[in-house]
Structure 1
């Protein structure tokens, strides 16, 4: 299948969650043998109009990020001449969706629009116009699906496709040191690690060890809080770790605690749950993390530090695991197939199969 992806900005411009998600889709489909093309602003230094990396052909529709107007003006005609089977566009920026929609119409193929929403969704004219476009609208979670519907998207066209993890990779990494609770996230103003620290402080008379993975501008603040609460001797601030190191840590941990206030999809938590952790989520209105643990006997949803402390105690009665096959539907192969199924369904609806 020849797939034309549209992403004005890529991970080679800026390493954001939205760009990471889109790049993962490109890489998975290219690895599956499909003809993958990405139409974007140039990120390479030479004067060539295309560049190939890891089986993906990148087409420079504009000379750089400063040339957005040129990108939007040229994109419909570039897509029309590329003979794709489907056009798949990211909704960042929303104006690119409008240009991609015209291009897909000229090419007489369906348009798939990817909304991720890290940082939230604007509620302006361009976002609402973009939300009305696309034969299929894909989001990582029900949280983002709700946001897009609120901007005017047809609910019948909205589907959720999660971020993937690699279950084989999890199995291949030996378990690390045993700890009771683990937390992982960039330690910035949205981390809300204080909720976990306050809950742990209520359990200071119990025997436990905790690891915090991640670094950021608020790390020193959290370390001071742990010291003020007199629990710093049982908390290891591990800083930034590679994926292999994080997987090992998750396989050795019993509980993964998710307390961040903003999260469109809890990818790090998913790695931990697939690596056997019990999941405890502090509910927040702008976080989708609770969606992973709803209706699961190894998952807890809490709304306060006291409930979080109680959940940690209750989780201690559950068996330790270093892998959980319940998350097979989140494996890279399954998520890749979910995208392909969306494409095939749309091609059939358009009479292209």
Structure 2
């Protein structure tokens, strides 16, 4: 299948959750043997308008990020001339949604919008208008789907498809030392690590070890809190770790605790659950993490520090695992298949063969 991906800004321009998710989707289709083209602002050196990289073809619709107007004006005609089977666009900026929609009309093909939502969902007039353009809007969770519906998208227009993980990669990494609790996230103002530290302090008399993975502006404050609570000798702040080292920690840990106040999709938690961890989620209105553990016998949803403490204790009664095949449905190939199924459904509905 010939898929045209549209993203004015790419991961090469800026590292964001949205750009990482979009790259993962692109690479998933490439790995599935599809003809993948990305239409974006130029990020490579030289005057060539087409750039081949890792079996992905990039097209410079504008000379750089400073030429947004040129990008939006040219995009519909560039897409039409490419004659793709599907056009799949990033939701930000909203102007490119409207331009990509015109491109889909000229190319006479379905239009899918990827709406990740890590920077929120704006409620301005252009964004509201953008929700009416695509044939389908893909979100990472039901939470983000609700946000998009609140600004005008129809319920049947929204399809949640989760972030992906690599099951084979997990199984190829040996577990690190066994510990009781692991937490992983950027340590910023939304991390809410204090909830976990306070819960652990309540059971300091029990034999446990915990690891905190991640760095950020609040790390010093959290390290100070662990010291004040007299658990700093039991909590190791590991900082940023590469993926293999994170997997090793997850495979050695018994519990993954998710307490962040805002999370459009709990990717690190998913890696940990597939690595055998019991999942404990502190519920927050702007976090979708609870969606991963609902109806699962190795998952706990808590709403207070006392419930969090009790969940850590109760989790101790569950068996230790270093892999859980329940989460194979989140593997890269399985997630890519869900996109492909969506594309084919839209093609059938539109009469495109």
Q: TM-score, normalised by structure 1?
A: 0.99
Secondary structure of 1:233 counterpart: coil
Q: In structure 2, what is the equivalent of residue 327 of structure 1?
A: 327
CA contact (8 A) 1:41 1:62 kept: yes
Equivalent positions of 1:40-55 (< 5 A) are 40-55=40-55
Matches within 5 A, 1:237-252: 237-252=237-252
1:273: which partner in 2?
Answer: 273
TM-superposed CA distance for 1:119, in Å, is: 2.0
Q: Take 1:349 and 1:260, find their aligned partners in 2: how far apart are those partners?
A: 40
Structure 2 residue 299 is the aligned partner of structure 1 residue 263 = no
C-alpha separation between the residues in 2 aligned to 1:96 and 1:263?
25
The residue that corresponds to 2:148 in the other structure is: 148
The aligned counterpart of 1:207 is: 207
SS of equivalent to 1:118: coil
Q: Aligned runs of 1:288-303 on 2, under 5 Å? A: 288-303=288-303
Residues 50 and 58 in structure 1, CA contact (< 8 A), matched pair in contact too:
yes
Q: Residues of 2 paired with 1:47 and 1:58: CA distance?
A: 13
Q: CA deviation at 1:328?
A: 1.4
SS in 1 for 2:61: strand
The C-alpha deviation readout for 1:225-268, integer Å capped at 9, x for no partner, is 00000000101111110000000000000000000111000000
Distance 1:126 1:268 in 2: 33
1:6 maps to 2:6? yes
Residues 161-240 of structure 1 correspond to what in structure 2 (within 5 A)? 161-240=161-240
Segments of structure 2 that go 5 or more residues without pairing to the other structure are: none
DSSP 3-state at the match of 2:88? strand
Tell me the residue number matched to 1:127: 127
Alignment of 1:61-80 (within 5 A): 61-80=61-80
Q: How far apart are 1:60 and its partner, in Å?
A: 0.5
| TM-fit CA distance, 1:348 | 1.2
Q: Which runs of no fewer than 5 residues in structure 1 stay unpaired?
A: none
Structure 2 partner of 1:99: 99
- Off by >6 Å, runs of 4+ in structure 1: none
**1:153-190 deviation line (CA, Å, top 9, x unaligned):** 11111111000111111111001110000000111111
In 1, distance between residues paired with 2:327 and 2:126? 37
In structure 2, the residue matched to 1:284 is 284
SS in 2 for 1:232: coil
* Kept after mapping to 2: 8 A contact 1:31/1:55: no
Quick one: distance in 2 between partners of 1:95 and 1:290?
33
* Matching residue of 2:26: 26
Question: How far off its partner does 1:304 sit?
Answer: 1.2
CA RMSD of superposed structures (Å)? 0.6
Measure, in 2, the Cα distance between the counterparts of 1:133 and 1:327.
Answer: 33
Q: Which residue of 2 aligns with 1:158?
A: 158
Conservation of the 8 A alpha-carbon contact between 1:27 and 1:54: no
What is the CA–CA distance in structure 1 between the aligned matches of 2:13 and 2:86, rounded to whole Å?
24
| Alpha-carbon shift at residue 126 of structure 1 (Å) | 1.1
Aligned mates of 1:123, 1:136 — CA distance in 2:
19
Cα distance between partner residues in 2 of 1:126 and 1:193: 36
Report the number of matched residues: 353
Give the match's secondary structure for 2:67: helix
Provide TM-score, normalisation by structure 2.
0.99
CA distance in 2, matches of 1:30, 1:273: 27
Tell me the CA shift for residue 7 of structure 1.
0.3
Separation (CA, whole Å) in 1 of partners of 2:53 and 2:287: 34
CA distance in 2, matches of 1:108, 1:153: 22
